[in-house]
Amino acid sequence: MIRTLDDLRTRLGEIRGADRPTDRPRVALVSTLGALHDGHVDLIREARERADIVVVSTFVNPLRFRTADETAAYPRSPEADARVLDELGVDVVFAPSAAEFLPAGTATTRVSAGDVGLRYEGRVRPFYFDGVLTVEAKLFHLIAPDVVVYGERDPQRIFLVRRMVRDLDFAVEVVSVPTVRTEDGLPISSRVALLDEADRRAAAKLPRALEAAASNADMGVDACIAAAQSSLMGEQRISLEYLSVVDPATFLPVDEGHHGRALALIAATVGGHRFIDNAEISLR
């Protein structure tokens, strides 16, 4: 368990072995906010398959939140996390305090997510992806992973990280892992357990809406969106924030003439909790 930047550099230097540059171990990073669940476990297992050394960060990034109160309210379970990480044989856990990782209280120099970072999730939280990319870039700089593993529950994040890696020439492979879901189809997250029974039934309609979109993909993008909206009609517990179909190569909305692979994105609030989901569809 490592909590300071200097100790992290020292330990990774020992692991890599400065005198063994030709056969240095391959390092994978799984970047989390802690409060680990089965989705994180899948990411860590994938990281283990792809690398000799697995580093997991459990830093609650304050740059992702509007206020200090929101940051403080984020669920934390350090003891349970430590047990999970130990059982999985994680080699290094990086768990710095905010004061250690962001000593000025924020980051004056930030990575900009650009126009795409202000769409979808960024439209709801315009600061969010700049905060995500800034901390990810800092982790890449400190840890120098060969591979970093993310879950496909948040494809916008993956798109933006891949673009940052390309634009800033980070020598890291970005790997995505399919979303782990509950029995009723919801992506596993810490929010699912907070729903009461009625809200849980309502939230389960969100992945059904994506299935409706996929089922109507052969009729074009407008039909996809209409089918998804229709499947949610009358569900008063769901407050829909956005429902879009995007080109995965640009993460911009597709037009009616788009053919081939696309991503249907959905975000909604249920029982006071936000949920995001997505599904790959094929437009004809």
Question: Does the residue 173 lie in any domain?
Answer: yes
55 and 111 in a single domain? The answer is: yes
166 and 232 in a single domain? The answer is: no
pLDDT at 74: 87
- Residue at a domain's end among 148, 177, 206: 177
Binding region for ATP: 151-154, 180, 188-191
pLDDT at 18: 55
pLDDT at 51: 97
254 and 278 in a single domain? The answer is: yes
Quote the percentage of the chain above a pLDDT of 70: 98
Residues noted as catalytic: 40
Question: Does the residue 182 lie in any domain?
Answer: no
Question: Does the residue 256 lie in any domain?
Answer: yes
| pTM (predicted TM-score) | 0.90
CA distance 226 to 146: 42
Ordered DSSP codes for 57-115: EE---GGGSSSHHHHHHS---HHHHHHHHHHTT-SEEE---HHHHSTTSS-SS----TT
225 and 94 in a single domain? The answer is: no
179 neighbors 152 (Cβ within 8 angstroms): yes
88 and 158 in a single domain? The answer is: yes
H or E segment at 244? Answer: strand 238-247
Helix %, strand %, coil % of the chain (to 5): 40, 20, 35
Instruction: Give the distance, in angstroms, between the CA of residue 170 and the centroid of all CA atoms in the same chain.
Output: 19
pLDDT mean across residues, the chain? 93
Q: pLDDT per residue over 220-261, tens digit each?
A: 999 999 999 999 999 999 999 999 999 999 999 998 888 899
17 and 153 in a single domain? The answer is: yes
pLDDT tier for residue 21 given thresholds of 50, 70 and 90: low
Please provide residue 88's backbone torsions phi and psi, each rounded to the nearest 5 degrees.
Answer: -85, -5
166 and 247 in a single domain? The answer is: no
Q: pLDDT per residue over 131-170, tens digit each?
A: 999 999 999 999 999 999 999 999 999 999 999 999 999 9
Question: Does the residue 186 lie in any domain?
Answer: no
Q: What are 282's two structure tokens?
A: 């094929």
State the pairing for strand pair 260-270/238-247: antiparallel
Average of per-residue pLDDT across 173-184: 96
157 and 24 in a single domain? The answer is: yes
Q: What are 95's two structure tokens?
A: 């768990």
Provide the domain count of the chain: 2
158 and 41 in a single domain? The answer is: yes
For residue 222, the domain's CATH number is 3.30.1300.10
Beta-bridged to residue 101, according to DSSP, are none
pLDDT tier for residue 66 given thresholds of 50, 70 and 90: confident
61 and 173 in a single domain? The answer is: yes
Binding region: 151-154, 180, 188-191
Q: Write out the residue range of the structural domain in which residue 246 sits.
A: 192-283
Q: What are 68's two structure tokens?
A: 């200090």
How does DSSP classify residue 278?
A: E
> At which residue do the structure tokens 């924030």 appear?
241
Average of per-residue pLDDT across 73-93: 94
For residue 104, the domain's CATH number is 3.40.50.620
25 and 55 in a single domain? The answer is: yes
